Amino acid sequence: MAGLSSKSFALLLLAMSFYINSSFAARITPHSSTEFIRKSCTATTYPKLCYTSLSIHSSAIQTSPKLLANAALNVTLSSAKSTSTMMSTLSQGHGLKPKEVSAMSDCVEELSDALDELRKSIDEMSNAKESNFGLMINDVQTWVSAAMTDESTCGDGFAGNAMNGNLKTTVRGRIVNIAQLTSNALALINNYALLHG
């Protein structure tokens, strides 16, 4: 009888230590950050893309809505940069129709505006003072929306039937991806603004 109860006691202790360990670990391991990112991403229009593009930066994001919005802008900027570089290279290639060349160079210009707007947003957010939070977030929301407009204008240039199939598919795919990343970044910025109050 005594043996059984001390055995149960030991099991109870063991169970408790597992429980304590795992709930303690949840607070300090990356798990809580990826869970925070997953939950925050439900506020975006493209939650899967949001999660896959941001969970790899969980160590920088931790559980901060501000760092999450920052990381989303970083990811968007770097994706827009590489697409812009790719398009500049493509537009110098041979075998493009004049219509394609002109759509490509218009697009590179629009992307360059979007890059400026994203860079300004990242800058402004990192230099924000508490006293001008409202002004800062307003600027950032305006610029990120403007970046979305520029990206969509670029995408429109590749919507018609005048384009070569491969080129159109490649470019449109990249632009759609950037536009979705930008839309997600804006949602996370809005969420940060809301939480900040």
Are 61 and 109 a contacting pair, CB within 8 Å? no
Nearest-approach distance from CB 72 to ligand NAG, in angstroms = 9
Nearest Cα residue to 83 out of 175, 150, 152: 175
- The two tokens of residue 51 are 């999660």
Complex with ligand NAG: residue 67 or 90, whichever CB lies closer: 67
Q: CA 159, CA 137: separation in Å to the nearest integer?
A: 33
Question: What is the four-CA torsion angle of 134, 138, 144, 146, rounded to 10 degrees?
Answer: -170
Binding mask 58-97 for ligand NAG (x = CB under 6 A): --xx-----x--xx--x-----------------------
Nearest-approach distance from CB 37 to ligand NAG, in angstroms = 11
Nearest-approach distance from CB 14 to ligand NAG, in angstroms = 39
Among 41-49, 54-62, 105-113, 168-176, the segment contacting ligand NAG (CB under 6 A): 54-62
Largest CA distance in the chain: 92
Nearest-approach distance from CB 60 to ligand NAG, in angstroms = 4
